[in-house]
Amino acid sequence: MIANDPYAELERRFARISAVGRAGAILNWDRSTMMPDGASEDRADQLATLGVIGHEMMTAPDMAELLASAEDGKASLDPWRAANLREMRHAWIHDNALPSDLVEARSRAASACEMAWREARKNADFKALLPTLAEVVTITMRVGEAKAAALGLTLYDALLDEYEPGGRCQRIDTLFADLEAFLPGMLQRVMERQKAAGAPLPLDGPFPVEAQRRLGLEMAGTLGFDFYHGRVDVSAHPFTGGTADDVRITTRYDEDDFARALMGVLHETGHALYEAGRPRDWRRQPVGNARGMVLHESQSLLMEMQACRSDAFVTFAAPRMRAAFGKSGTAWEAANIHRIYTRVAPGFIRVDADEVTYPLHIMLRYRLERAILAGDLALADLPAAWNEGMKELLGIVPPNDSLGCLQDIHWPDGAWGYFPTYTLGALAAAQLFAAARKAVPELMAAIGKGDFSPLLAWLRTNVHAKGSIADTDTILSQATGAPLGTAAFKAHLETRYLSA
């Protein structure tokens, strides 16, 4: 088979590698939702072993020859197979850059640090996290250096490339500089307008967790979540995991503020819809994967921010919120709820941030992780640097590290280079939603009736079903007429917060 059809042999191998990865994804989900704490060491061993098995399959001695032979005959491949071969090569370069012992060490360090993070966050104790986080950073730098050498990139760009293939700091710096010049003035104008209008009426709680759960399930179903192929659970940090045919999303509950859990569910449902919509014929091949985290985050933010904070959706959702909690009165009318959901105010928590201030949270994390990886910021000084950055960018200082540098799971979990994709995803979401509204004139009327099928159909065609057949800019250009930029996002903020 290798001699006669090297490409077919590669497909067979990558399907098996995919199965190992999918098994790991379910174990990862279980670790964060249902696993008893006492099983953490055993689970770390399972995940590390699966990681090494997948890595050794990818870096088998004859893999380089197989890839080269398949590439010699790529002229005979159709567009999907040619793109799949390109993605195979990209995945192989990443894996082949690392020895198996480093892959195992990376997995074990992340598992240990995530468990330590849970306690440190609960106790607002950064010093307790420092030893395990330092190990994660040390290993991450070794990984970054190895991949940088293999890819011909800087260390940070090599790590970024894991999450957004082709993503580079130079592009991010240009886009972020544009936003940083725009957002302070925008924030000031919005705050002044809100002050003149007065505060919205508060929603009277508490809000029982079971009622929140039922409301979240109803709204996830409204967006198109398939409960026959997925489920919703609770975790310390909301996330989407599992596989395309078994999508696992999580949220967390606060009895004083049901919007936190609800918006978490809507956000993760956007991720889940992307996963479920990936091209079925290619799901076990690299070309069938989501393109990268910029488009992935665009799908979550498109649902949570663009669609579900619109007048149309809130008009649909308000009576269902009243029914869920047995409420009535002026505060529970759609107009007041919409004012609450579009309220702009600097806050400590990224996942609860509004659209105007959210990019500033990401810019801070991007700045800090680059400084740490470059050796310009000692890890022990992270809390102070975080607080200083929050004061500079948002004008507030967290009272403790749980509301500061301990709030996110990403760094303990080893996801260095991930954060900028959130704001890049917000830019892409604005472009895609504007294009969808233009292409489907009845879109907002349908959302106002709780009918997301026109939006989902457009996304399936223009984003989800594309998998990784093309790069992010190409997919965006085909769908919206332009590569990733800031114009649509800025226009969206102007319209929603200053023109409505």
Buried b (16+ CB within 10 A) or exposed e, 51-82: bbbbbeebbeeebeebbebbbeeeeeeeebbb
**What predicted TM-score, i.e. pTM, was given to this entire model?**
0.95
Which residue(s) pair with 250 in the sheet? 233
Using CA atoms, how far apart are residues 182 and 151, in angstroms rounded to an integer?
34
By CB neighbour count within 10 A (0-12 exposed, 13-18 middle, 19+ buried), where does 415 fall?
buried
Instruction: Report CA 413 to chain centroid distance, whole Å.
Output: 14
Helix extents (H) in 326-419: 334-341, 358-373, 382-394
Tell me the residue ranges of DSSP E strands in 235-361. Answer: 240-243, 246-251
Residue ranges covered by each domain of the chain:
6-125, 170-499
Contact 275, 230 (CB under 8 A): no
Q: What is the pLDDT of residue 3?
A: 52
Q: What is the pLDDT of residue 1?
A: 43
Q: Which fold, 170-499?
A: Neurolysin; domain 3 (1.10.1370)
Q: What is the pLDDT of residue 234?
A: 95
Using CA atoms, how far apart are residues 448 and 452, in angstroms rounded to an integer?
9
Q: What is the pLDDT of residue 500?
A: 65
Tokens of residue 74, six digits:
């790529």
Contact 210, 256 (CB under 8 A): no
Strands across the sheet containing 240-243: 230-234, 246-251, 240-243
Catalytic residues: 268
Q: What is the pLDDT of residue 236?
A: 84
Q: What is the mean pLDDT of each run of 10 residues along the chain (500 residues)?
A: 80 98 96 93 95 97 97 96 98 97 96 94 97 98 98 98 97 98 96 95 96 98 98 92 96 95 96 97 97 97 97 98 97 97 95 94 98 98 98 97 96 97 98 98 98 98 98 98 98 93
Instruction: Report CA 135 to chain centroid distance, whole Å.
Output: 24
